[in-house]
Amino acid sequence: MPRCSQPTSAISASGQMSSDTWTPKAAAMQSEALMVEPIRAALQHVHDLDLTETEYASGYGVADVVGGRACPRAWQERENLGLATGLRPQEVRLLSALPPMRWIPLDEAAFRAALALSTAATVARLLARIGVLESRGSRVRLLKPVPAPVTDLVAVEAKLTRWRDALRQARRYAYFANHVYIAIVARLADRVDRGSLYRARCGLLAVEAHRAFIAVPSPRRKPVDPTMFRNCSEYLYGRALLQCP
């Protein structure tokens, strides 16, 4: 599976910040942006990731880096279904609310998915067109599941020095990720309390100028919210389809 995602960066082409826009916060943001590519390279190597993106809005904050391991079989099945994009969150929620091969009222499905009835009806029509769902009157049923395109998700919160702030934010990524890390500059990595990392089940990435390495491994966990896991998986899949020729 090709690694399709292209690097993104908040740094200008010159790599410099003009004096009239310099502030301590802006300088910190620039420096944290420079941490992204070493982090991506380290994660791709250690976790064998195929897909990576930056600045993922998870619903519980914005993860600096997310990545996943693609499932080729699922990609082929989705191609056979004619899925040319990732599923939208509303589609994920409706599919998650439907029991396989059992008719249920659309209003019940909408309630389970926390969707307005009109939205659920629109989503049901779209899914029916690709043969995933069958709609008959006011009832719907799931004909075949849409396989998740990613089997493993990793999320990282990067800070220059404020590892406690990074850890508070990173703990929320357990809702959708299998592995969670904080990342700080390597020279301060020894200051991070290992007990806090252990209790949060969070790993530590130490970042140098042109590389990053894992100072504390992240234990694998089951994401707290399967729907949020699926949303991130679909986001990575959709981004990959847009960026691959």
DSSP bridge partners of 214:
205
* Helix, coil or strand: residue 75: helix
Q: What is the mean pLDDT of the chain?
A: 86
Q: Is 142 helix (H, G, I), strand (E, B) or coil?
A: strand
| Residue pLDDT, tens place only, 80-131 | 888 878 899 999 999 999 988 899 999 999 999 999 999 999 999 999 988 8
Q: 159-191, pLDDT tens digit by residue?
A: 998 999 999 999 999 999 999 999 999 999 999
pLDDT band, very low/low/confident/very high, at 30 (cuts 50, 70, 90): low
User: Does residue 24 carry a pLDDT above 80?
Assistant: no
pLDDT of residue 26: 44
pLDDT at residue 4 in the model? 52
Please count the residues of the chain: 245
Q: How far is CA 98 from CA 11, 145, 192, 204, 226, in A?
A: 44, 10, 44, 38, 14
Query: Which domains does the chain possess?
Result: 29-72+149-243 (3.40.1350), 88-142 (1.10.10.10)
Query: How many other CB atoms are there within 10 angstroms of residue 111's CB atom?
Result: 13
pLDDT in tens, 45-73: 999 999 999 999 988 889 999 999 999 99
Across the range 231-237, mean pLDDT stands at 94
